[in-house]
Structures are given as structure tokens and as C-alpha cells.
A and B are shown apart, each in its own frame.
Chain A
Amino acid sequence: MDKYIEMIRIRFLMMLAYRTDYYTGILIYSINIGAYYFLWNAIYGGKEQIEGLSVVQMTTYVAVSWMARAFYFNNLDREMAQEIMEGKVAIELIRPYNYLGMKTMQGLGEGIFRLFFFSTPGLIIVYFVFPIQFSWEPRVWGFFAISIVLSFLINTQLNLLTGITTFFLYNNAGLIRAKRVVIDLFSGLLLPISFFPGWAQSIMKFLPFQGISYTPSMIFTKGFSHQQAIAAIGQQLIWVIILILPIYVLWRVAKKQLIIQGG
């Protein structure tokens, strides 16, 4: 366990080392939140509510989903693709740890860094700039905390899956990009799932994406009732468990292929 915690720490330090990234990151996230705030204001026009969300709730939704994204987001798929193509994975496999576990920990290190140095100060700034409503109920915060940990897991699992496909495709840059735009839309980052037409919503219920952004954001903005929140968290958990299977299978096949082809 020590080595995994060490990995988190190293990642944390790495993130601190790239200062330009840090500053521009804060700037860019603020601009994103600002732009979507105005876009949504224009969409609401004079309407009180759309799909049960008021303008203020919508603004909160936008702010929280971007800040939560800072926590769950990582580039593990691209890193893995690069390591695999450069043949570094073979070396990683010799090391006495679980490669996928290690990658997850790296992602977690990044996430924790951004949570403390990025999301938290960012959210405070946004709170004063835009009309946002925070709930102060500990129960909401508790649910939210559980939920974003699960979003991190789902997102990371999907990244690992995409990363592993590099073993089978010569160049999966296209797939990685496609996955990213799909997640941006279907996770509910760009707009709440409840805004989609009914038939689309019923399809998306059977996909893991809404567990990434929609669930935690809806919990935070109190767009979910108590029961809905519990059900949504349960759904996230189920997806975390289900996704273990394809990762495990693909990883086994990939390792076998690696041994045969010698990387």
C-alpha cells in the first residue's frame, strides 16, 4: 500500500512543478464557467424553470460540474497510449506492482491536487462572482463527496479501458478524442441529462456516462430528491463494479499479447 500512496504524493509534487499549467488552468476553468453561465442565461431567456431547474440552480450546476471535472478528469488514456507505443509498458510490467492500480493512483494524486488547489479556491471565487446557491446541509455534502469519488472511479475506469485498446489498435488517438467528446456531452457536463428528449434519456440510463458528471452535480444543486440521490449513487456503484470486468478481461488478453509479441 505504501508504494501506491507514494505514487499519489509524487504525482502531487509533479502537478505543483508545472506552475504555468496551474495558473492558466484556473483562468481557463473560470472562463468556461463564465461562458456557460451566460449561454444558459440566454437559453433561459425569461423562463423561470426548465426541466425543474431554475436559473440559479442551473448556474450552480455549471459551476459545480466544472469544478468536479477538475477532480475526476485525467489523461490516463493518453499517457497509457504513449507508454504502450513507446514500449515502456513492458518495463512497467516487470515492476512489483499492479500497473493499472498504479495508473489509478497517479490519477488520484492529480485529482486530489486539483481538488484542493484548484476546485476549492475556484469554487469560492465563482461563489462571489456568479449568483450561486450552496446548500449547507451536511447530508448533501456527504452524498456529493461519495458521488464524486465514484465519478472519479467510473471516469478512470473508462480511461483505462481506452488506454488498453492501444494494445489492439495501431493508433487510437482518434478513439481517445471521440471518447472525450462523448463523455463531455453524455456525462451531463455540457447540459443536464434531464434536458434531453425522453427517448434519449431512457437510452442513457443504460450507459455509465451520467454517473460521471450529472449525478454529483444534481446532488449538489439539490435537483435530486433524497431517494433519487441514493438511487443515483447506487447506480454509480453498480457501474464501478460492472466496469471491472471488461478491464480485467482486456488487460489479461493484452498482457498475453504483450508476452507473445514481446511488446
Chain B
Amino acid sequence: MFYLSMFFQYLSQYLKTRLQYRADVFVEFLSDLLSQAINLVFILVVFGHTDLLNGWNRDEIIFIYGFFLVPFAVFSAFFNIWDFNERYIVKGELDRILTRPIHSLFQIILERLELESLLGAITGLAVMFYAGSRLGIRIDWYDPILFIIFVIGGALVYGGVFIMLACISFWADARTSLMPMMYNISNYGRYPVNIYNKLIRFVLTWILPFAFVGVYPAAFFLDKEDWYWYSFLTPFIGVLFFILSIWLWNQGVKKYRGAGN
């Protein structure tokens, strides 16, 4: 309860600051839109040369991409920790966090809210509806519920992986260039994982389970019955990775060396 009320407290502060920098929010939104457009261009150009990607057609791939954008937007809004090392470790902001009576990770999430990223979910929904209508997908009563569950699961997968990456800073002198590179890898979960070989498929399913942010849950809505098992695994993997990441974080905080020594 306390944590929920803290969330709203921080939220109202966040809104006040963002209103001061409206232009920034707009530019950020535009640059998000641009990168989404570019990813779509990639898919379109590729399908200019082929009709099927291991049995998946163009609209299905676009649908997966649209789905991916939604959990990704949720992730970006709440887990804006890609500069954790510079901001909190090198500059020693974590000192301040640790002298306050709220869980340290939760405080950082609250401080770094970036709710404008949620706009990406709208783009994602639009892309899904476009591709879905071309594919003639029917929407059943339970679809919206499962959609929400899958989106939360996917966002937790992302959150878990990136929190674990941030935790590296507690032990080693990693800089932030690691995180942007990881974004590249996370993109591969958007393609049907059966195009990859066993090793990469294994990595994308169990090690860096980005496939649970894109193709696995989306497969459910595309009626790919072979994949249902994976689709329904999505929330569990999400929760598992997230719990794991919090455990790792709690270990890491004990190893925190402080700044300026």
C-alpha cells in the first residue's frame, strides 16, 4: 500500500517536471516514431525479396513487431535504467537512495519514470490492428485479457534482463555501452525464432528470453498452435526473471563500493 501511494507521489512530481520540458517530450516521441518506422522499413524491404520467412508471411511478421512494441513501451516507461552505472554508481547518487526508507530499486524506478514512452504502445496497437485486419484475425472475449497478461510478462522479461545488466556495475567496471548493444540483441526476439539455429534459439528462450517479448506471445494471437505452450509460458518467465533480477540486485547492493573513493 505504502509503495502504491509512493508511486502516485512520484508520479505527480514527474508530471510537474515533464510539463516544464514539453519540447523534449515531443522530440523524444518523434525519435521513437522514427526508429519504429525504420524497423518497419526493414521488414518491408526484406519482404520485397521473399514471400515467406520460414513459413511466416509479411503481415505476420509485422503483427509480431506491433505486439513487441507494446511490452517494450511498458518496459521503457518503467525501467529507464540504461544509464544506471553513470548516474547512480559513478556519480554516487546511490548513496542518497540508500539513505531513504524505500527499497533502492523501487526508488530508482520511481525517479526514472518515463511515461511518455507509453505512446509507443499506441503505435504498436495500430500496427497490430493493421496487420491483424489484413490477416483477418478474430478477437475473442479472452484475447484482451491474455494480451494484457502477455504484455506484463514481456515487460517483466525485459525489466529483469536489464536490471541484471545494471547489477554488473556493482561488481565490475562496466560502462554503459553494454546496454545499447543489448538493445540490438533484444530485437531478435521479434523474428520467428525457428529461423535461428538451436543455440541462438536456446539463448533467446532461456538465457536472454527476448523471444517472450515478441514472437512467443504474438504467436498465440496468430493461431500458431505449435507455439501455444511457449505463449502461455510468457508470464511465468517474466515473473521468474524479474524475481531473479531483484535477488541479484539485493546481493549487488551489499557489494556497492560507494563513489569517490
Chain B interface: which of A145-153, A174-182, A243-251?
A174-182
How far apart are the CA atoms of A178 and B30 in the complex, in Å? Answer: 9
Does A24 sit at the interface, judged by CB under 8 A? Answer: yes
Q: Per a CB cutoff under 8 Å, which of A21, A43, A174, A177 touches B46?
A: A43
How far apart are the CA atoms of A171 and B42 in the complex, in Å? Answer: 28
List A contacts of B191 (CB < 8 A): 39, 42
Among all A-B residue pairs, the 3 with the closest Cβ atoms: A42-B195, A174-B27, A174-B31
Does A231 sit at the interface, judged by CB under 8 A? Answer: no
Please determine whether B175 and A18 come into contact, CB atoms closer than 8 angstroms. yes
Chain A window 15-54, contacts with chain B (Cβ cutoff 8 Å), 1 for yes, 0 for no: 0011111001100100110110011011111010011000
How far apart are the CA atoms of A25 and B196 in the complex, in Å? Answer: 21
Nearest CB of chain A from residue B218's CB, rounded to whole Å: 17
How far apart are the CA atoms of A42 and B54 in the complex, in Å? Answer: 6
List A contacts of B48 (CB < 8 A): 195, 197
Binding site for B on A (CB under 8 A): 17-21, 24-25, 28, 31-32, 34-35, 38-39, 41-45, 47, 50-51, 75, 170-171, 173-175, 177-178, 181-182, 184-185, 190-191, 195-197
Interface residues of B in 174-189 (CB under 8 A from A): 174-175, 177-178, 181-182, 184-185, 188
- 13 additional contacts, CB 8 Å, given A34-B196, A178-B30? A18-B174, A18-B175, A31-B200, A42-B54, A42-B191, A47-B50, A50-B49, A171-B21, A171-B24, A175-B27, A181-B34, A185-B38, A196-B45
Nearest CB of chain A from residue B68's CB, rounded to whole Å: 15
Given A32-B184, A35-B200, residue A20 in contact with residue B195 (CB < 8 A): no
Nearest CB of chain A from residue B92's CB, rounded to whole Å: 16
Q: Per a CB cutoff under 8 Å, which of B41, B173, B203 touches A31?
A: B203
Interface size class of B (residues with CB under 8 A): 35 or more
Does B197 sit at the interface, judged by CB under 8 A? Answer: yes
Please determine whether A43 and B24 come into contact, CB atoms closer than 8 angstroms. no
Given A38-B196, A175-B27, A195-B49, residue A21 in contact with residue B178 (CB < 8 A): yes
| Closest B residue by C-beta to A17 | B173
Given A28-B182, A174-B31, A195-B45, residue A34 in contact with residue B24 (CB < 8 A): no
Q: Per a CB cutoff under 8 Å, which of B24, B174, B196 touches A35?
A: B196
| Closest A residue by C-beta to B178 | A24
Please determine whether B50 and A182 come into contact, CB atoms closer than 8 angstroms. no
How far apart are the CA atoms of A173 and B196 in the complex, in Å? Answer: 34
Binding site for A on B (CB under 8 A): 21, 23-24, 27-28, 30-31, 34-35, 38, 41-42, 45-46, 48-50, 52-54, 168, 172-175, 177-178, 181-182, 184-185, 188, 191, 195-197, 199-200, 203
List B contacts of A196 (CB < 8 A): 45
| Closest B residue by C-beta to A50 | B49
Please determine whether B49 and A20 come into contact, CB atoms closer than 8 angstroms. no
Please determine whether A177 and B35 come into contact, CB atoms closer than 8 angstroms. yes
Nearest CB of chain A from residue B37's CB, rounded to whole Å: 9
How far apart are the CA atoms of A39 and B184 in the complex, in Å? Answer: 14
Nearest CB of chain A from residue B140's CB, rounded to whole Å: 30
Please determine whether B50 and A45 come into contact, CB atoms closer than 8 angstroms. yes
Given A45-B50, A170-B23, residue A20 in contact with residue B38 (CB < 8 A): no
List A contacts of B30 (CB < 8 A): 174, 178
| Closest A residue by C-beta to B46 | A43
Tell me which of A35, A44, A175, A184 has the highest count of chain B C-beta atoms within 10 A of its own C-beta: A35
